[in-house]
Amino acid sequence: MKPIHALFLVIALLLFSCETNEVDEGESDQISALLLGKWQLVEITSENGRIGSALATSSNYFEMLFYGEGRDLDVELSFSENPNAFDITGEGFLYERIITETTGVIELSDGEFLEQWAFAFDFLNPGSGWKVEEKKYLYHDERGSLWVDYGAEILELNETTLELKMDYNEDWPKTGSSFGRETGTFFATFKKK
């Protein structure tokens, strides 16, 4: 009797896992179809931002907490298929960080600073391909392998709107000698062109 129950359990698990994969693939195909075309960046904001020393034990330890928003937006994403291609064009955006708290050896007089960001390579890298997995994540192909680190979570997608959540984790400053890390969560809204 026990071997029969075990056999039924194994069969049930196999059927359930196959059914789940088919549903996931179907939803991923629907999401992929909606992504096709050109998308213009209309808003970008950030929260839970942190710029800080790589090591808290450093004598030059510092930390800045901030939120931010972009302006002068000039970013266009383009998704095509057969083969899947992904491109980012435009000058990027002017990013303003609004500092909410500082600690350590850093002092700011006005509590905000501006920097030009390119979007391409800051969040998503244009590459030779893209795909959707697990219903919510957008991956792109970089140097022949899919890098999950560069995936963006799709919060909303319909015929006119694409909203992405992107975790950011980079050396700071982006050029020159690195003396810290910048992290944060960005939310970008695009409209279909």
pLDDT in tens, the chain (193 residues): 444 544 333 344 444 444 444 445 677 788 889 999 999 999 999 999 988 875 656 666 778 899 999 999 999 999 888 888 888 889 889 999 898 888 776 666 667 777 777 776 666 665 556 778 776 666 655 544 434 445 688 899 999 999 999 888 777 665 556 567 888 899 999 999 9
Q: What is the pTM for the complete model shown?
A: 0.75
160, 192 contact by CB (below 8 A)? yes
Residue whose C-alpha is closest to residue 46's, from 116, 91, 96, 107: 96
For residue 140, the model assigns a pLDDT of 56
Residue whose C-alpha is closest to residue 159's, from 44, 76, 36: 36
Dist CA 127 CA 141 (whole Å): 6
For residue 74, the model assigns a pLDDT of 93
Q: What's the chain's length in residues? A: 193
Amino acid type, 74: D
> Phi and psi at residue 153, in whole multiples of 5°?
-80, 130
For residue 82, the model assigns a pLDDT of 82
44, 189 contact by CB (below 8 A)? yes
Domain boundaries, the chain: 2-192
Q: Which helix (H) or strand (E) holds 23?
A: helix 2-35
For residue 101, the model assigns a pLDDT of 85
For residue 136, the model assigns a pLDDT of 65
Rg (alpha carbons) of the chain, rounded to whole number: 21
Which parts of 36-181 fold into alpha helices (H)? none
Residue 146 burial (CB < 10 Å; 0-12/13-18/19+)? Answer: middle
Residue 66 burial (CB < 10 Å; 0-12/13-18/19+)? Answer: buried
Two tokens at 117? 């960001």
Helix, strand, coil percent content, the chain, rounded in steps of 5: 20, 55, 25
In the numeric block, the tokens 């391909």 are attached to 129
For residue 85, the model assigns a pLDDT of 80
For residue 118, the model assigns a pLDDT of 76
